[in-house]
Amino acid sequence: MKINKNKTVLSKSIEDVEWYIFDAAEYRLGRLTSKISYILKNKHKSTYLPYASGKSQVIIINSKKVQITGKKSEQKIYRKHSGRPGSMKLETLEKLQERIPNRIIENALRGMLPKNSLGRQLFKKVKIYPDDQHPHKSQNPVQININ
């Protein structure tokens, strides 16, 4: 019997859901979100498949204390548009961080995930909290250090 070496063999091992926790106060926005997208896509495991969703869940705490470099707090603009003529709303990063601090990390993370159904599925595995309190202590999340 000849074995075809060109086929990818998928192991159907049952993996437990792994929970990771990031403290946004310790990191800059870009480095934080790129590491989170890396973990969500399961690239840190040997069982990585570009079309498959991993079983990693991510908790982000202290989103209102995320670090921004340079003059981005005054210059970066977030836009939203309802689709009606003349309805574009503009808001700086500084004002958005006061109003809805989670939205900054959400927008940055959405831009780093795939733009398809897999990206939407992965985004649901992220929980973002503005303070250091979160209701996921029973999952025993692993603290991640990016540096």
Residue 116 has pLDDT above 90, yes or no: yes
Instruction: Give me the helix-helix angle, 101-112 and 29-40, nearest 10°.
Output: 50
Residue with tokens 């340079």, as numbered in its chain: 70
Q: Which of these, 65, 67, 61, 55, lies nearest to 21 by C-alpha position?
A: 61
Each residue's pLDDT tens digit, 50-64: 998 888 999 999 999
Domains of the chain as residue ranges with CATH: 18-67+102-143 (3.90.1180.10)
pLDDT of residue 48 exceeding 90, the answer is no
- At 46, the pLDDT band (50, 70, 90 cuts) reads confident
In whole angstroms, what is the distance from residue 127 CA to residue 34 CA? 16
| C-beta of residue 59 within 8 angstroms of C-beta of residue 102 | no
